[in-house]
Amino acid sequence: MTHLSRRRFLEESMLAATAAALTGGTPAKLLADEPKQSTSPNERLSIAVIGVRSQGNGHLVAYSTRNDTEVTYVCDADADVGTKRAAETGERQQGRTPKYVQDLREGFDDPSVDCVSTATPNHWHALVSTWAMQHGKDVYVEKPVSHNVSEGRRMAETSKSKRSRDPCPCSVFKRSKSLMARPATHSE
Protein backbone atom coordinates (compact mmCIF):
# COMPACT_ATOMS: atom_id res chain seq x y z
CA MET A 1 0.00 0.00 0.00
CA THR A 2 1.44 3.37 -0.94
CA HIS A 3 1.70 6.21 1.53
CA LEU A 4 -0.26 9.30 0.61
CA SER A 5 1.11 12.49 2.12
CA ARG A 6 -1.14 15.41 3.02
CA ARG A 7 0.47 17.48 0.30
CA ARG A 8 -0.21 14.82 -2.35
CA PHE A 9 -3.78 14.40 -1.10
CA LEU A 10 -4.41 18.14 -1.35
CA GLU A 11 -2.87 18.32 -4.83
CA GLU A 12 -5.00 15.44 -6.11
CA SER A 13 -8.13 16.81 -4.44
CA MET A 14 -7.61 20.21 -6.00
CA LEU A 15 -7.03 18.58 -9.39
CA ALA A 16 -10.26 16.60 -9.06
CA ALA A 17 -12.22 19.69 -7.96
CA THR A 18 -10.84 21.67 -10.89
CA ALA A 19 -11.78 18.92 -13.33
CA ALA A 20 -15.28 18.81 -11.86
CA ALA A 21 -15.67 22.57 -12.13
CA LEU A 22 -14.49 22.59 -15.75
CA THR A 23 -16.84 19.81 -16.79
CA GLY A 24 -19.79 21.08 -14.78
CA GLY A 25 -20.04 17.82 -12.86
CA THR A 26 -19.28 16.57 -9.43
CA PRO A 27 -16.39 14.21 -8.73
CA ALA A 28 -18.85 11.39 -8.05
CA LYS A 29 -20.42 11.86 -11.47
CA LEU A 30 -17.03 11.99 -13.14
CA LEU A 31 -16.06 8.65 -11.61
CA ALA A 32 -19.41 6.92 -12.00
CA ASP A 33 -19.61 4.19 -14.60
CA GLU A 34 -23.35 3.97 -14.66
CA PRO A 35 -25.46 3.32 -17.74
CA LYS A 36 -28.27 5.73 -18.53
CA GLN A 37 -31.44 5.10 -16.55
CA SER A 38 -34.36 3.78 -18.53
CA THR A 39 -37.52 5.89 -18.56
CA SER A 40 -39.74 3.10 -19.90
CA PRO A 41 -42.40 1.92 -17.42
CA ASN A 42 -41.87 -1.60 -18.80
CA GLU A 43 -38.27 -1.58 -17.54
CA ARG A 44 -39.02 -0.17 -14.09
CA LEU A 45 -38.10 -2.50 -11.22
CA SER A 46 -40.44 -2.84 -8.26
CA ILE A 47 -38.57 -2.57 -4.94
CA ALA A 48 -39.59 -3.56 -1.41
CA VAL A 49 -37.50 -1.79 1.25
CA ILE A 50 -37.39 -3.58 4.60
CA GLY A 51 -36.33 -1.52 7.64
CA VAL A 52 -36.60 2.21 6.95
CA ARG A 53 -35.15 4.12 9.87
CA SER A 54 -31.70 5.61 9.27
CA GLN A 55 -29.87 3.45 6.70
CA GLY A 56 -33.13 2.18 5.23
CA ASN A 57 -34.30 5.74 4.64
CA GLY A 58 -31.18 6.17 2.51
CA HIS A 59 -32.31 3.16 0.48
CA LEU A 60 -35.74 4.74 0.01
CA VAL A 61 -34.24 8.01 -1.22
CA ALA A 62 -31.82 6.23 -3.57
CA TYR A 63 -34.49 4.05 -5.18
CA SER A 64 -37.34 6.57 -5.26
CA THR A 65 -35.30 9.23 -7.06
CA ARG A 66 -34.36 6.92 -9.94
CA ASN A 67 -36.33 6.61 -13.19
CA ASP A 68 -35.87 2.84 -13.48
CA THR A 69 -37.06 1.81 -10.00
CA GLU A 70 -40.22 2.28 -8.00
CA VAL A 71 -40.55 1.57 -4.30
CA THR A 72 -43.79 -0.39 -4.01
CA TYR A 73 -43.49 -1.65 -0.42
CA VAL A 74 -42.17 -0.03 2.74
CA CYS A 75 -41.85 -2.43 5.66
CA ASP A 76 -40.90 -1.50 9.21
CA ALA A 77 -41.83 -2.83 12.64
CA ASP A 78 -42.61 0.72 13.80
CA ALA A 79 -45.90 1.77 12.17
CA ASP A 80 -45.31 5.49 12.79
CA VAL A 81 -41.94 5.43 11.04
CA GLY A 82 -43.17 3.17 8.25
CA THR A 83 -46.23 5.21 7.34
CA LYS A 84 -44.21 8.44 7.48
CA ARG A 85 -41.50 7.03 5.18
CA ALA A 86 -44.12 5.66 2.78
CA ALA A 87 -45.73 9.11 2.50
CA GLU A 88 -42.35 10.81 1.94
CA THR A 89 -41.47 8.25 -0.72
CA GLY A 90 -44.82 8.80 -2.43
CA GLU A 91 -44.03 12.51 -2.75
CA ARG A 92 -40.66 11.72 -4.37
CA GLN A 93 -42.37 9.26 -6.75
CA GLN A 94 -44.90 11.81 -8.04
CA GLY A 95 -47.78 10.49 -5.95
CA ARG A 96 -47.08 6.75 -6.37
CA THR A 97 -47.12 5.98 -2.65
CA PRO A 98 -45.76 2.57 -1.69
CA LYS A 99 -47.83 0.25 0.45
CA TYR A 100 -46.78 0.20 4.11
CA VAL A 101 -46.73 -3.23 5.77
CA GLN A 102 -45.43 -4.48 9.11
CA ASP A 103 -45.17 -8.10 7.96
CA LEU A 104 -42.35 -8.34 5.43
CA ARG A 105 -43.78 -11.56 4.00
CA GLU A 106 -46.56 -9.54 2.33
CA GLY A 107 -43.96 -7.91 0.09
CA PHE A 108 -42.33 -11.27 -0.63
CA ASP A 109 -45.67 -12.80 -1.63
CA ASP A 110 -46.40 -10.08 -4.20
CA PRO A 111 -45.23 -11.39 -7.60
CA SER A 112 -44.84 -7.84 -8.94
CA VAL A 113 -41.94 -7.14 -6.52
CA ASP A 114 -38.62 -7.69 -8.32
CA CYS A 115 -36.09 -6.73 -5.63
CA VAL A 116 -35.84 -6.54 -1.85
CA SER A 117 -33.51 -4.06 -0.16
CA THR A 118 -32.92 -4.63 3.53
CA ALA A 119 -31.46 -2.36 6.19
CA THR A 120 -32.91 -4.13 9.19
CA PRO A 121 -31.09 -4.72 12.49
CA ASN A 122 -28.13 -7.05 11.96
CA HIS A 123 -29.74 -10.17 13.41
CA TRP A 124 -32.45 -10.02 10.71
CA HIS A 125 -30.18 -9.73 7.65
CA ALA A 126 -29.76 -13.45 6.92
CA LEU A 127 -33.41 -14.33 7.50
CA VAL A 128 -34.80 -11.48 5.39
CA SER A 129 -32.36 -12.27 2.57
CA THR A 130 -33.07 -16.01 2.64
CA TRP A 131 -36.84 -15.55 2.66
CA ALA A 132 -36.67 -13.04 -0.19
CA MET A 133 -34.48 -15.34 -2.31
CA GLN A 134 -36.85 -18.26 -1.59
CA HIS A 135 -39.57 -16.11 -3.14
CA GLY A 136 -37.41 -15.49 -6.24
CA LYS A 137 -36.49 -11.88 -5.42
CA ASP A 138 -33.17 -10.17 -6.05
CA VAL A 139 -31.72 -8.98 -2.74
CA TYR A 140 -29.54 -6.11 -1.56
CA VAL A 141 -28.44 -6.50 2.07
CA GLU A 142 -26.38 -4.29 4.36
CA LYS A 143 -23.39 -5.74 6.16
CA PRO A 144 -22.96 -7.90 8.12
CA VAL A 145 -24.90 -10.35 6.00
CA SER A 146 -25.06 -12.87 8.84
CA HIS A 147 -24.13 -13.39 12.47
CA ASN A 148 -22.33 -16.66 11.90
CA VAL A 149 -20.95 -18.91 9.19
CA SER A 150 -23.97 -21.21 9.29
CA GLU A 151 -26.39 -18.39 8.37
CA GLY A 152 -24.06 -17.23 5.61
CA ARG A 153 -23.86 -20.74 4.17
CA ARG A 154 -27.64 -21.07 4.21
CA MET A 155 -27.92 -17.78 2.32
CA ALA A 156 -25.40 -19.00 -0.28
CA GLU A 157 -27.21 -22.34 -0.66
CA THR A 158 -30.54 -20.58 -1.11
CA SER A 159 -29.03 -18.24 -3.67
CA LYS A 160 -27.63 -21.15 -5.68
CA SER A 161 -30.75 -23.32 -5.47
CA LYS A 162 -33.44 -20.72 -6.11
CA ARG A 163 -31.86 -18.31 -8.56
CA SER A 164 -29.74 -18.53 -11.68
CA ARG A 165 -28.22 -15.05 -11.30
CA ASP A 166 -25.31 -13.93 -9.15
CA PRO A 167 -25.54 -14.06 -5.33
CA CYS A 168 -27.06 -11.07 -3.59
CA PRO A 169 -24.76 -8.05 -3.25
CA CYS A 170 -23.78 -6.91 0.21
CA SER A 171 -22.87 -3.40 1.27
CA VAL A 172 -19.23 -2.87 2.17
CA PHE A 173 -18.90 0.78 3.14
CA LYS A 174 -19.20 2.85 -0.07
CA ARG A 175 -17.93 0.26 -2.52
CA SER A 176 -21.43 -1.08 -3.13
CA LYS A 177 -23.07 2.30 -3.70
CA SER A 178 -22.94 1.66 -7.46
CA LEU A 179 -24.71 -1.69 -6.93
CA MET A 180 -27.52 0.05 -5.11
CA ALA A 181 -27.72 2.81 -7.71
CA ARG A 182 -27.74 0.29 -10.54
CA PRO A 183 -30.29 -2.46 -9.80
CA ALA A 184 -29.79 -5.85 -11.38
CA THR A 185 -31.30 -6.28 -14.81
CA HIS A 186 -34.32 -8.46 -14.36
CA SER A 187 -34.89 -11.07 -17.03
CA GLU A 188 -37.56 -13.70 -17.00
Query: In the chain, what is the straight-line distance between the N-terminal and C-terminal CA atoms, in Å?
Result: 43
Sequence-separated (6 or more) residues with CB below 8 Å from residue 181: 32, 34, 62, 66
Neighbours of 116 (CB within 10 A): 26
The pTM of the full predicted model, rounded to 2 decimals, is 0.70
Q: Rounded to 5 degrees, what are φ and ψ at 47?
A: -115, 135
pLDDT at 54 over 80: yes
Strand bridging mode 69-75 / 99-101: parallel
Per-residue pLDDT of 7-26, as tens digits, reads: 676 667 666 766 666 665 54
Predicted confidence at residue 25, as pLDDT, reads 53
Give the whole-angstrom CA distance, residue 57 versus residue 77. 14
- Burial class of 140 by CB neighbour count within 10 A (0 to 12, 13 to 18, 19+): buried
pLDDT at 62 over 60: yes
Per-residue pLDDT of 113-137, as tens digits, reads: 989 999 898 888 889 988 988 888 8
* Domains parsed from the chain with CATH numbers: 39-179 (3.40.50.720)
pLDDT at 163 over 70: no
> From edge to edge, which strands make up the β-sheet containing 138-141?
99-101, 69-75, 45-50, 115-118, 138-141
Average pLDDT estimate for 77-101? 93
